[in-house]
Chain A
Amino acid sequence: MGIIVNRKTRAIVQGITGTQGSFHTKLMLDYGTKIVAGVTPGKGGTQIHGVPVYDTVEEAQEKHSADASIIFVPAPFAADAALEALDNKIKTVVIITEHIPIKDAITIMDCAKQAKATIIGPNTPGIITPKECKLGIMPAQIFKPGTVGIVSRSGTLTYEIAASLTRKNLGQSTCLGLGGDPITGLNFIDALKMFEKDRQTEAVVLIGEIGGNLEELAAEYIAKKNYSKPVVAFVAGRSAPPGKRMGHAGAIVTGKAGTAESKIEAFKSAGVKVAEKPGDVAELLGKLLRV
């Protein structure tokens, strides 16, 4: 159970022969993820950690028919890799790569919409359904199976919060990184909808940050739809000055839009509990779930 990925997920790794691709393929295999093939143009016929490598996604698909792909390809070539995956009927594409141009990201999202596929990222740590499938670069030991769905725009901050939940015995159904870029395949509302349908998930932790208005729209959705599961939020960036990009391409306050205050206010007025510090999320959640 959980959302998007589970023990049945069969994945390929695009960019498997690179340093990051090879390193994380090993970790994903160790976790039990079914990595059925890798793709690096020019490296077809070789193997990485026992995984066969192909020149094209097409050939990998002919031989292994995977349903997911994880992309470690450098930014200038990442859009092509994503389009190649979509063109070859892969329905879940996780793009780890950071620094993909916005124009390329918009094209990827448009093609994914037509292919009815799900894009996770770009600039995401990926997705993990604990003990079932890890398609990402997150440290696996901080997660454990449970009932809390986590959706986030950041990587390490998610690890921080997930680890504190695990310490308090609040396991996770799925932990999903949306990505730190301005254009991402999924947003908070998409994740909320999926977690609502997932029977394993009993509560949702939403980790937002400055920039854009996805948090405000999520708050509006929660209030309007009378969202059926408890939600706890944390928003990073109260100290961020306007007009400055805070590490993530998407984390920028423009004029008065996209501030942490606006997002926190929106959550509070939608009845969502907002944690003051990352460490407070577990406590608020514990109270809501009465554990």
Chain B
Amino acid sequence: MKLFEYEAKKILAGYGIPTPRGELAANSKQAREIASKLKFPLAVKAQVLVAGRGKAGGIVFANSVEEAEEVAGKLLGMQIKGMPVKSVWIEEKLNVKREIYFGITIDRFKRSYVAVASAFGGMEIEEVAQRKPESVIKILLSPQQGLRPYKARQIARRIGYAGDQLVALGRIFERLHSVCVDYDAELIEMNPLVETLDGKFVAADARIIIDDNALFRHPEFKKRLFEEESELSPQELEALKSDLAYVKLDGNIGVIGNGAGLVMATLDTIRYFGGKPANFLDVGGGAPSDKIAAALRIVLSDPNVEVLFINILGGITRCDEVARGILEAKKAVGLAKPMVIRLVGTNEEEGKRILTEAGIHVLESMEEAAKRVVEIQRQKR
């Protein structure tokens, strides 16, 4: 789950990491009130959960209360990369001497957290790694040691600081690590972390992605994601709530299957035969009939879906339950679109019998079924 900049900054500030003075506004009147309390020039920043917000015109500077009000009004009416701007963060613009990067993420191969730092911040760290690979410092953090103060100071030295500045920077790194651990971040970064003209360090932008699987430990964010605001589409959100995994794609063949790898391979096989999948939907293991029904509702809510391919290979998923789920859902949703079903595994015979009696044809081979669904979609045209 991605956090908004304002959420991330409030968390950082709570851990004693300096951030620019600022507040959140949901309308231009609020923006005016906030601006009148701050020191100019100000930065007015659209709160959206997409990358590349600056380049898309989502950050504008203002030199007066009137300007801040006007700019906020404009941003609040905007969409950035398809996401509506519902609030703006207004903060004091910093006097930048240097922009640096500091973040913590996961090294999958080393099975560990890794701290990443560079004296060159302000652009995406992947870009820094390409342009100035020698400037990127990576330090593995053991779960028992975490980021020790001495290690944090080493990092500060290696990106070019000494004395009081080194100590101050090390402390900021340590605190960010505490946030990372306490909030179950899978990615946390200050980019840029600004060195101001008077030699102080301030987190000018902050990004936190919380591990979705750890949301049970962070109910306040789970609530925001489920009930208030998220970067997910309504379908993706409904899927999440039903414990399904859904990703919308741009084709016309709706796909439902069990198991992430199998569904990905199903999409690939459809493409191999010249078809275009409309979505990824994994009902997961042991999918009972109400889950199948929810899956059908979500997939069919996409108007581009012309035909449906259900690919079930029962390990712990029982074919008879799937079959009943399909029939129940078909009734409930009023499914009129053609579908191809591939069903093998536990209780396969019973599942097939249920569907065949209802007049639905069932195939055994995934390849044949994929080929068949592509043919049906073509015939419809």
Residues of A at the B interface (CB closer than 8 Å) are: 20, 23-24, 75-76, 98-103, 105-107, 109-110, 125, 137-139, 152-160, 180, 182-185, 187, 207, 209-210, 212-214, 217, 234, 236-241, 244-251, 255-257, 260, 276-279
In the docked arrangement, what's the CA distance between A94 and B308, Å?
36
**For chain A, what secondary structure do more than half of its interface residues adopt (helix, strand, loop), or is it mixed?**
loop
Partner of B217 from the list A101, A241, A276 (CB cut-off 8 Å) is: A101
**Chain B residues in 8 Å Cβ range of A185:** 111
Chain B residues with CB under 8 A of A237? 264, 267-268
Provide a sorted-by-A list of 26 A–B residue pairs whose CB atoms are within 8 angstroms. Answer: A23-B316, A98-B284, A101-B214, A103-B211, A105-B111, A110-B142, A110-B143, A137-B315, A139-B314, A139-B315, A139-B345, A156-B257, A157-B264, A159-B345, A236-B261, A239-B280, A241-B249, A244-B280, A245-B247, A246-B264, A246-B282, A247-B284, A249-B212, A277-B265, A279-B366, A279-B367
B280 (CB) vs chain A CBs: closest residue: A246
Chain B minimum-CB-distance residue to A23: B316
Contact A236 B268, CB 8 Å, known A20-B286, A214-B108, A278-B366: yes
Does B379 count as interface, using CB distance less than 8 angstroms? no
Q: Are A247 and B186 CB-contacts (below 8 A) given A239-B277, A279-B367?
A: no
* B258, chain A: closest CB distance, angstroms: 6
Identify the closest chain B residue to A217 (Cβ). Answer: B109
Instruction: Report yes or no: A183 in contact with B261, Cβ–Cβ below 8 A.
Output: no
B367 touches A251 (CB 8 A): no
CB-nearest residue of chain B relative to A105?
B111
Interface centre among B108, B280, B285 (most CB of A within 10 A): B108
- Are B213 and A99 in contact, CB atoms less than 8 angstroms apart? yes
Interface centre among A24, A234, A247 (most CB of B within 10 A): A247
- Smallest CB-CB separation from B345: which chain A residue? A139
* B313 contacts partner chain A, Cβ-Cβ < 8 Å: yes
CB pair B126–A248 under 8 Å, yes or no, is: no
Chain B contact residues, majority secondary structure: mixed
- Measured CB to CB, the nearest residue on chain A to B277 is A239
Q: Is B346 an interface residue (CB 8 A)?
A: yes
Q: Is the CB of B262 within 8 A of A245?
A: no
Interface residues of B in 124-150 (CB under 8 A from A): 124, 126, 142-144
Q: Are A110 and B260 in contact (CB under 8 A)?
A: no
Q: In the bound complex, do residue B213 and residue A155 qualify as a contact, i.e. CB atoms below 8 Å apart?
A: no
Q: How far is the CA of A249 from the CA of B268 in the complex (A)?
A: 19
Q: How far is the CB of A243 from chain B (nearest CB, A)?
A: 9
Complex contact B111–A101 (CB within 8 A):
no
Are A20 and B366 touching (Cβ within 8 A)?
Answer: no
CB < 8 Å neighbour of B106 from A76, A102, A138, A214: A102
Taking CB atoms, residues of chain A closer than 8 Å to B314 are 139
B259: CB under 8 A from chain A?
A: yes
Contacts A110-B144, A157-B262, A180-B260 known; list 4 others, CB within 8 Å.
A156-B259, A240-B267, A245-B212, A255-B126
